[in-house]
Amino acid sequence: MKLIRSIKNLCLVGAAITFTSFFVGCKSETKPAVKTVNNETILKAQDGFSVEEIAKDLGAVRHLTISKNGDIYANRSVLKDGKAIVLLKDTDKDGTIDEQQYFADVPGTGILAKDNYLYASSNTGVFRYKLNDAHEVIDTNTPEKIVDGLIDMGADNAKPFAIDNNDNLYVTIGSWNDACRDNDAGAGMMPCAILDSAGGIWKFKADELNQSFADGSRYVTGIKNAVGITWNFKTNSLFATDHGRGGLHNFYPELYTQKQDGELPAETLYELKEGDNTGWPKTYYDPIKNKRMLAPEYGGDGEQTSEEGFINPLVAFPAHLGPNDLLFYTGDMFPEKYKDGAFIAFHNQSSELKKGFFVAFVPFKNGKPSGDWEIFLDNFAGFDLANPTDATLQHRPCGLAQGPDGALYVCDDFGGSIFKITY
């Protein structure tokens, strides 16, 4: 069975659209549901779904999580009023947020309410807060440090994480160097020394305090910056999305055209096992050829494939979309087609496709992609990306969470909003 779903097979929800040289038009009979502000259309979803902006002006909210009692926590990559974590509460259970709290003085991205703890990450480590029987944080002033001292070079430095049911903690350590390029020589480092401490996912123990980088083990290597990372409890395995490298035309104009620079390489979704290598920086995945290519820094010419046994992605998305979170839907609110499927928040845009800033959906069956991916929630930008004249970006989807009732939540680190999607 061919698992890779390329950009050639993209169907846009609620519209019949053809992208020349990339897509075959895909028709849908559903009509988009929209969220409006001052009569201006903001978000578009499939018919039957409702979109509600439950909070706004929160700052750079990156990832979010919902506790068992319905409390919403979001972690900010930039402090606002000196605090990083936002807590939103619906105290009277009427469906409206009526209380906001703020705590933590270190900015970050990852956040997860699991079992008896609220876990969060900074750009150098992961810490946790104890929850009481009502699933509320007991003490916001003294978090326990799980792991610290992870490398932070200022670029692609977020430390998103996932936790399995055996108290294993998986932490992304992204690379600050786009292609492990020697800036003096312009060629790729051989071997890439960055892979010793970054460009992968490391495993620690979630129930042990005061760990350092040396206490962890490299779980997966060759993944440049896996901001979307989650443990799939149905398959009992780790999944992650990766940001692809850039600069192909800028550094190698004799090999890649400006158009190819906008098309390559793919943004990717992987299922990961311990010891896997996804091929960065030596290779990249071409979403048009559906092949793993040798990177030009390592002798590639745009046509030479890699035969070294690096794993291939389950799904290859268009270039430069910036997948920033990943969620497998396990609720009962949405129609059956969404059960166990993957939602992905894309934080950027493809200049070549004139699309971006959307939440996509990948159907899954028996733990594997079972159909073409589609755009589930669109128009976060607030304007037509194909005609951006005098337009101002409004929202950028970044984090995803599922509520106890099966609702989907999306946070936005540009406009500072949190949206709730129900069916």
Structure tokens at 64: 């979010």
- Of the CATH numbers 3.40.50.150, 3.40.50.300, 2.120.10.30, 3.50.50.60, which one belongs to the domain with range 7-422? 2.120.10.30
CA 6 – CA 113 distance, rounded (Å): 33
Q: Is the pLDDT of residue 187 over 80?
A: no
Instruction: Give tens-digit pLDDT for 110-132.
Output: 999 999 999 999 999 999 999 99
- 178 contacts: CB under 8 Å, gap ≥ 6: 224, 245, 246, 247
CB-based contact 281:298 (threshold 8 Å): yes
**How confident is the model at residue 31, as a pLDDT?**
42
CA 109 – CA 377 distance, rounded (Å): 22
**How confident is the model at residue 185, as a pLDDT?**
56
Q: How many CB atoms lie within 10 A of CB 355?
A: 21
Let me know if 362 is exposed, middle or buried by CB neighbors in 10 A (0-12, 13-18, 19+).
Answer: buried
Mean pLDDT of 293-316: 95
**How confident is the model at residue 20, as a pLDDT?**
26
Mean pLDDT of 292-320: 95
Task: Give the bridge partners for 143, in sequence order.
Answer: none
Q: What is the 3-state secondary structure (H, E, C) of 173-220?
A: ECCCCCCCECCCCCCECCCCHHHHCCCEEEEEECCCCCECHHHCEEEE
Percentage of the chain lying above the pLDDT 90 cut: 82
Rg over alpha carbons for the chain, rounded to the nearest Å, is: 21
CA 317 – CA 324 distance, rounded (Å): 13
**How confident is the model at residue 314, as a pLDDT?**
98
Mean pLDDT of 90-118: 95
Reported confidence tier of residue 6, pLDDT bands at 50, 70, 90? very low
Q: Classify the C-alpha dihedral 335-271-402-199 as positive or negative.
A: negative
Whole-Å CA distances, 275 to 200, 272, 306, 411? 11, 8, 19, 32
**Residues for the chain: how many in total?**
423
AA identity, residue 58: L
Instruction: Give tens-digit pLDDT for 230-286.
Output: 999 999 999 999 999 999 999 999 999 999 999 999 999 999 999 999 999 999 999
For the chain, give the mean pLDDT: 90
| Domain boundaries defined on the chain | 7-422
Phi, psi (degrees; rounded to nearest 5) at 158: -65, 150
Instruction: Give tens-digit pLDDT for 198-220.
Output: 999 999 999 999 999 999 999 99
Mean pLDDT of 346-362: 94
Structure tokens at 279: 């091929």
CB-based contact 384:25 (threshold 8 Å): no
**How confident is the model at residue 190, as a pLDDT?**
81
Mean pLDDT of 12-29: 31
Instruction: Give tens-digit pLDDT for 40-93.
Output: 447 999 889 999 999 999 999 999 999 999 999 999 999 999 999 999 999 998
Whole-Å CA distances, 318 to 26, 149, 269, 306, 387? 17, 34, 12, 20, 20
Q: Which of 6-10, 43-47, 138-142, 180-184 has the lowest mean pLDDT?
A: 6-10
CA 135 – CA 70 distance, rounded (Å): 9
